[in-house]
Amino acid sequence: MDTSRRTLLRTAAVLGGIAATGLAPLGRAIAGAPAILKGLPASWFVDYGTNAEMKWESVRPGDYLTRQSHLFVRNHTATPTIDASSYALKVYGDGLSTARTADAPVVLTLKDLKKLPRTKLVTTHECTGNGRSFFSAQQGTPASGTAWTLGAVGTVEWEGVRLRDVLKRIGINPAAVSIQATGLDAPYSTGGVDYGPVRRPFPVSKALDDALLAWSANGAALLPDHGYPLRLVLPGWVGIASIKWLGSLEVSLTELTSPWNTKWYRMTGPSYPADSPPLTVNPVRSAWELPWGAGLDVGHDHLLTGRSWSGAGPVVKVDVSVDGGATWTRARIERRPKQHGWTQWSYSWNRPRAGQYVLMARATDSKGRVQPLETPFNDNGYFFDAVVKHPVTVV
């Protein structure tokens, strides 16, 4: 999607002020300000303005969880600053046991939510467009949107309260089918159209299964860029479904819709029907923990590492190739998934000769889903799950 006009104007104003002083903010790229608040050092991130991608070479192989400081950022407008002391979640709709209107919702403060049973949940959190650039670079079919490589992903241990416990406290009608989560960020505008705040519905069945309202990541309060003070987490599902800066939940007896599940975040293009459903469960993907085009020393053994993940279930095996797919070898599993997290693996490359090589990693999850060698094109570049061809040079 295009960056909103509002964010562009705010960014231009800030950049103008910086240019006038001849100074630049320390520890981050200028382009992200003011859409992203945390530092974006170039050694950790590719800065796209409203979005920022984690560089895989910045990942420490021994770490399982992704630090918030390193986690990718996907914003539609700009990160808001919200006062937790005055924050409240509003819950309403005809799907509650006692119907409530948006003007007379059930109001829950953070203090109210923290009185309920707490839960910690590890999930791999990922942008739907992760890998989008490879539609162009690898398959020759460019797609619109942020040109992510594979760094719009991370694994986080969230802490919060199960949504089912919140709904049990409030009371939900057994006939309720849909819940719409709405964020507190600024309305999203593009092409002269104001689409309102970011919002997306999901089934009550998901809410009653594993949905979480999270106020913490990896043992610390959420950073503003990652949803402070409260966000929704839908394990295994597309990132857009896990609404940040959660402001309200509408519980409905009928199916709810928004532009984020009708206009966007569904497959469109020549390979898909006009009524293709909204995207939910993430595909299988793999990444090497190496710079793109990395240089490796000749005459040495190299222990290469990587990670694989899936929204449907744990990754159970990973096959790797160092010759562009001509031959394949089973990678060594170093750490199996925690709950909904990723699998860490390694491959020992013994004394490769000097030359150009293409590394490939192909994962299989517990549901039998295997990464393909090619992904059918869609207009918005969602769900690129093909095996990525990672170039390296041995010198």
Model confidence at 10: pLDDT above 50: no
How far is the CA of 177 from the CAs of 94, 207, 234, 237, 252, in angstroms? Answer: 11, 10, 16, 18, 6
What percentage of the chain exceeds 70 in pLDDT?
A: 92
* pLDDT tens for each residue of 37-74: 999 999 999 999 999 999 999 999 999 999 999 999 99
pLDDT at 16 over 80: no
> Do 164 and 211 meet the contact criterion of CB atoms below 8 Å apart?
yes
- In tens, the pLDDT along 321-377 reads 999 999 999 999 999 999 999 999 999 999 999 999 999 999 999 999 999 999 999
Strand pairing class (51-54; 45-47): antiparallel
pLDDT tier at 32, thresholds 50, 70, 90: low
In this prediction, residues 72-89 reach a mean pLDDT of: 97
> Which position has the token pair 């953070």?
110
pTM of the model: 0.91
pLDDT in tens, 248-257: 999 999 999 9
A 10 A CB-CB count for 328 gives 14
Question: Which of the four pLDDT bands, split at 50, 70 and 90, describes residue 14?
Answer: very low
Question: Per-residue pLDDT averaged across 283-299, rounded?
Answer: 97
Please name the residue that has the structure tokens 């006692």: 98
ω into 34 cis (within 30 of 0): yes
Number of neighbours of residue 266 by Cβ within 10 angstroms: 19
Q: Which of 315, 330, 292 is nearest to 385 (CA)?
A: 315
pLDDT at 33: 61
Q: Give the per-residue pLDDT at 34.
A: 76
Mean pLDDT taken over the chain: 92
**pLDDT reported for residue 210:** 98
pLDDT in tens, 167-190: 999 999 999 999 999 999 999 999
Q: Please give the Cα distance from 168 to 97 (Å, whole number).
A: 10
Choose among 394, 384, 216, 157: nearest CA to 299.
Answer: 394
